[in-house]
Amino acid sequence: MRIVIAGGHGQIARRLERLLSAGGHEVAGIIRKREQGDDLREAGAEPVLMDLESASVEEVAAVLHGADVAVFAAGAGPGSGVERKDTVDRGAAVLFADAAERVGVRRFIVVSTMGADARHEGDDVFDAYLRAKGAADDYVRGKSGIDWTILRPGTLTNDAGKGLVRLEAATGRGSVPRDDVAAVLAEMTETPATAGLTLELVSGSIPVTVAVKDVAGN
């Protein structure tokens, strides 16, 4: 398969790129800075230079043309303010979904976050982040032209992945290594029956492949 990842230089994205390329897939990652390209090549992915905050839907559609799966893993990141939470975490996700639908890329996976809610209250930057992610999730779920899955991990850690998770519509609060988030995403790219699901993810006791198969089609 050809898989295009928005936010290709992110910590989860680079882990995912390694897994997908090792599995024989063709992977492209969208990046904002040319100097990030070598990191993607090292991970086995083709770097695509594009700023999703300023790109048009036609430009993004051209990158997605011929892809089998689109994965939105972009984020404004730590240190960004309220404005960029909206332009990246919401706006870029909306753009990526519109572009995927335009060129017929049906399989669409979103890396969201636990607690995402467009109606979340509060004035802190993190509150704005949860609202932006929630609004993006709502928009994607409203599109009939894509087969979406929304993954909402708990608190992310850099601990070594154990390959054991809890993946459910509601897991309760918890943490999860980025390694295991990437492993779940990789499994989801090959499990189209997870379409139409919004799932929370934390560490648990079920092997990743089993956890994804257990929720598929539910």
- 16-33 tens-digit pLDDT: 999 999 999 999 999 999
**pLDDT at residue number 109:** 98
In the chain, the percentage of residues whose pLDDT exceeds 90 is 89
**pLDDT at residue number 44:** 97
pTM of the model: 0.95
Weakest mean pLDDT among 30-39, 78-87, 166-175: 78-87
- Closest of 64, 48, 69, 74 to residue 3, by C-alpha: 69
**pLDDT at residue number 218:** 74
Beta strands 206-207 and 164-168, pairing class: antiparallel
User: Alpha-carbon distance 4 to 70, whole Å?
Assistant: 5
What average pLDDT does the segment 118-132 reach?
A: 91
81 — pLDDT class (breaks 50, 70, 90): confident
- 94-122 tens-digit pLDDT: 999 999 999 999 999 999 999 999 999 98
Whether 217 has a pLDDT exceeding 80, the answer reads no
Is 139 marked active-site? no
Tell me which of 47, 129, 167, 211 is the catalytic residue. 129
